[in-house]
């Protein structure tokens, strides 16, 4: 196939980071608009209750199938065919439809009640989110093809279109009538999903037509990968072959081995969803927090997760794709291509170093500037009482755990076998139960802060397991990519120095001038980044050379 997996993974991460920044800026602007115009109760219903419904349906419907299918495309002499993979991706639609029935019943009848004057809008919002999920999964087959063949820019463009359409439709309706904000949210979601589904099929119709006109054009513009896998050759001759049962297939409609791997991921996916969205489930089921408090927690959580959404998630997704395409699941590392194994270990070490450094920066500087960020975002009324600032400071600690957990667990999921996955599922079940119990107990004792504390303990357990897995994976070949998690001495000294300086500056300057205090933070931040760059000058030099040569070519 005409692709370079590492280059495409890096490009995907770069584009995704830029997109996430754009996406979060738009989302924060809309949330600030809702808080100041409509109220926190409505924001709590939309951002906690309705988006939790969407997350639950999409994750349970497609996550396991997508992960298993991605692994099949990279296995040499894979017994799967493209027809079987496309049929497998279309299974997400009936699965989502079946799941929507019990989910709708739970969301409408069993969760903590919504106020009477918002009930009709809430009911419409739940129906709209369900329909949008089913519609979105109709594009899962072309999205999967685009992911395998490294059409990075396509995904970024269509995700941007999704955000743009949803934002324009929502704001347009709310400006005319703020009282129907939840109606507007549902309508905007349906319109944006329809736009991206049409976009995917329209792109592949155009792409296949141009490919037929130019037979030499196989896939993307990257260097060819000479090893024989399913990803060697673009499989489609017409856009109709993206539909189930259309692509010619001599085998059974579904591959038994792929189904077995998918079932392993299904059990894991349910547990992972509980761990990922556990605090929202606790808030939705338990009457401990009002919708206004839920909205406050959600706003602070989104602001506190900026680093995770902007940097960690794109890196995790691209790293997972890279590791699935580089390391075989069922083959010992000693028996695999030595160059690829060493490259994967170096990539893992570098990514661990990067994300842990970002997490430490957020932890240190977040303790001093959380209140200022919230003041600019929500105004004086929003930060009154001090709860939002306390929540954001604790979030800075959870971001450090999130940074390490994301990449180590991602590597583990990308390289472990079906047996390993089943083993980890038992541990995930224990972690899930522990997390839910601790979330409920800590919330009753500490309020919203309890959710963050429970999440930190949960991630610490998951990090322990995944690092143990990676250590065992590499110990026989005398490589330790986990060294990247530990910060270097120069960087650590810079962080400690910045903490001391900013503590003194906060006590002396904050009440006098926020601007002066902010300036000191910029100086300390620049000093810390320079220390990190000096300590990792080889890596920085490689990045400068790589992107410098790319700019010259452009």
C-alpha to C-alpha distance for 550 and 544, rounded to whole angstroms:
10
Task: Quote the pLDDT of residue 12.
Answer: 60
Residue 227 pLDDT > 60, yes or no?
no
Task: Quote the pLDDT of residue 232.
Answer: 60
| pLDDT greater at residue 230 or residue 378 | 378
| pLDDT greater at residue 235 or residue 65 | 65
Most confident of 33-37, 112-116, 309-313: 112-116
Share the mean pLDDT of the chain.
82
Residue 229 pLDDT > 60, yes or no?
no
Residue 263 pLDDT > 60, yes or no?
yes
Which band of pLDDT confidence, cut at 50, 70 and 90, is reported for residue 2?
very low
Q: Which two tokens stand for residue 421?
A: 């996955």
Task: Quote the pLDDT of residue 307.
Answer: 60
Residue 350 pLDDT > 80, yes or no?
yes
Span 462-484, average pLDDT: 87
Give per-residue pLDDT as tens, 44-59.
Answer: 899 889 999 999 999 9
Span 112-117, average pLDDT: 86
Task: Quote the pLDDT of residue 76.
Answer: 45
**Percent of the chain whose pLDDT exceeds 90:** 30
**Distances in Å between the alpha carbon of 193 and those of 157, 160, 202, 295?**
14, 12, 14, 25
Span 145-166, average pLDDT: 85
| DSSP code string of 333-375 | GGGS-HHHHHHHHHHHHHHHHHHHHHHHHHHHHHHHHHHHHHH
The residue behind tokens 């120095």 is 497
| pLDDT greater at residue 286 or residue 176 | 176
Residue 346 pLDDT > 50, yes or no?
yes
Task: Quote the pLDDT of residue 218.
Answer: 46
| 19 contact partners, CB below 8 Å, separation of at least 6 | 156, 159, 160, 314
Span 153-172, average pLDDT: 87
| 439 contact partners, CB below 8 Å, separation of at least 6 | 278, 279, 282, 450, 451, 454, 455
Which band of pLDDT confidence, cut at 50, 70 and 90, is reported for residue 223?
very low
The number of helices, as runs of H, and strands, as runs of E, in the chain is 21, 0
Give per-residue pLDDT as tens, 513-537.
Answer: 788 888 999 999 999 999 999 998 8
Most confident of 12-26, 80-94, 200-214: 80-94
Task: Quote the pLDDT of residue 456.
Answer: 92
Residue 252 pLDDT > 70, yes or no?
yes
Most confident of 148-162, 348-362, 422-436: 348-362
Task: Quote the pLDDT of residue 9.
Answer: 61
- The closest of 160, 163, 165, 176 to 28, measured between CA atoms, is 163
Q: Which two tokens stand for residue 284?
A: 């939705």
Residue 324 pLDDT > 90, yes or no?
no
Dihedral-angle region of residue 492 (phi above 0 means left; psi in -120 to 50 means alpha; beta otherwise):
alpha
Span 386-398, average pLDDT: 87
Count CA atoms within 13 Å of residue 340 on its CB side.
18
Residue 212 pLDDT > 70, yes or no?
no
pTM of the model: 0.69
Residue 68 pLDDT > 60, yes or no?
yes
At 405, give phi and psi (nearest 5°): -65, -40
Whether the CB-CB separation of 327 and 340 falls below 8 Å is answered with yes
Task: Quote the pLDDT of residue 217.
Answer: 46
Which band of pLDDT confidence, cut at 50, 70 and 90, is reported for residue 420?
confident
Residue 190 pLDDT > 70, yes or no?
yes
**Distances in Å between the alpha carbon of 118 and those of 38, 181, 281, 458?**
12, 10, 20, 35
Span 103-132, average pLDDT: 93
CA angle, 399 then 404 then 408, to 5°: 145
Among 148-152, 249-253, 447-451, which stretch is predicted with the lowest mean pLDDT?
249-253
Task: Quote the pLDDT of residue 192.
Answer: 95
C-alpha to C-alpha distance for 41 and 290, rounded to whole angstroms:
8
Task: Quote the pLDDT of residue 36.
Answer: 66
Q: How far is CA 89 from the centre of its chain?
A: 20
Please report, in angstroms and rounded to a whole number, the separation of the first and last CA atoms in the chain: 24
Q: Which two tokens stand for residue 377?
A: 């975002």
Whether the CB-CB separation of 432 and 275 falls below 8 Å is answered with yes
Which band of pLDDT confidence, cut at 50, 70 and 90, is reported for residue 284?
confident
Residue 73 pLDDT > 70, yes or no?
no
| DSSP code string of 383-426 | HTTSHHHHHHHHHHHHHHHHHHHHHHHHHHHHH--HHHHHHHHH
**Percent of the chain whose pLDDT exceeds 70:** 85
Start-end of H helices in 475-513: 489-509
Q: Which two tokens stand for residue 47?
A: 């951002």
């Amino acid at each position: 196939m005409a692709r370079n997996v590492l280059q495409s993974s890096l490009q995907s991460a770069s584009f995704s980071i830029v997109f996430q920044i754009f996406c979060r800026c738009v989302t924060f602007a809309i949330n600030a608009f809702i808080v100041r115009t409509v109220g926190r109760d409505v924001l709590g219903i939309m951002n906690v209750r309705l988006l939790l419904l969407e997350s639950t349906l999409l994750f349970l419907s497609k996550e396991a199938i997508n992960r298993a299918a991605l692994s099949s495309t990279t296995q040499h002499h894979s017994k799967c065919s493209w027809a079987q993979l496309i049929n497998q991706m279309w299974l997400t639609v009936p699965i989502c439809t079946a799941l929507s029935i019990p989910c709708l019943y739970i969301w409408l009848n069993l969760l903590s009640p919504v106020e009477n004057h918002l009930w009709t809008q809430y009911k419409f919002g739940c129906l709209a989110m369900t329909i949008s999920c089913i519609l979105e999964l109709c594009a899962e087959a072309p999205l999967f093809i685009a992911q395998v063949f490294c059409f990075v820019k396509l995904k970024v463009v269509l995700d941007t279109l999704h955000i743009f359409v949803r934002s324009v439709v929502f704001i347009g309706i709310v400006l005319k009538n703020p009282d129907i904000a939840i109606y507007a949210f549902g309508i905007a979601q349906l319109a944006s999903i329809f736009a991206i589904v049409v976009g995917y099929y329209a792109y592949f119709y155009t792409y296949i037509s141009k490919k037929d006109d130019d037979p030499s054009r196989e896939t993307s513009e990257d260097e060819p990968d000479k090893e024989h896998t399913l990803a060697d050759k673009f499989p489609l001759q017409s856009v109709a072959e993206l539909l189930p049962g259309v692509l010619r297939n001599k085998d059974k409609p579904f591959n038994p081995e792929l189904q077995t791997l998918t079932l392993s991921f299904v059990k894991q996916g349910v547990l992972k969803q509980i761990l990922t969205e556990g605090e929202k489930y606790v808030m939705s089921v338990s009457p401990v927090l009002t919708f206004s408090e839920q909205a406050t927690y959600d706003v602070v959580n989104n602001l506190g997760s900026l680093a995770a959404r902007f940097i960690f998630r794109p890196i995790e997704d691209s790293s997972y794709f890279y590791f699935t395409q580089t390391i075989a699941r069922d083959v010992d590392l000693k028996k695999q291509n030595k160059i690829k194994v060493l490259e994967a270990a170096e990539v893992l070490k570098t990514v661990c170093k990067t994300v842990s450094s970002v997490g430490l920066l957020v932890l240190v500087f977040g303790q001093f500037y959380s209140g200022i960020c919230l003041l600019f975002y929500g105004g004086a009324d929003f930060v009154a009482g001090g709860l939002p600032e306390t929540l954001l400071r604790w979030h800075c600690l959870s971001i450090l755990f999130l940074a390490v957990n994301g990449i180590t667990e991602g590597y583990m999921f990308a390289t472990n076998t079906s047996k390993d996955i089943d083993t980890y599922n038992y541990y995930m079940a224990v972690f899930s139960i522990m997390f839910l119990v601790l979330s409920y107990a800590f919330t009753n004792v500490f309020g919203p802060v309890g959710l963050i504390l429970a999440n930190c303990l949960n991630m610490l357990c998951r990090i322990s397991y995944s690092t143990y897995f990676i250590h065992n994976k590499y110990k026989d070949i005398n490589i330790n990519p986990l060294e990247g998690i530990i910060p270097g001495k120069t960087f650590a000294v810079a962080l400690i120095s910045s903490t001391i300086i900013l503590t003194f500056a906060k006590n002396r300057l904050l009440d006098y001038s926020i601007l002066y205090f902010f300036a000191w933070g910029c100086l300390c931040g620049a000093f810390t980044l320079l220390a990190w760059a000096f300590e990792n000058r080889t890596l920085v030099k490689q990045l400068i050379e790589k992107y410098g040569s790319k700019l010259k070519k452009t």
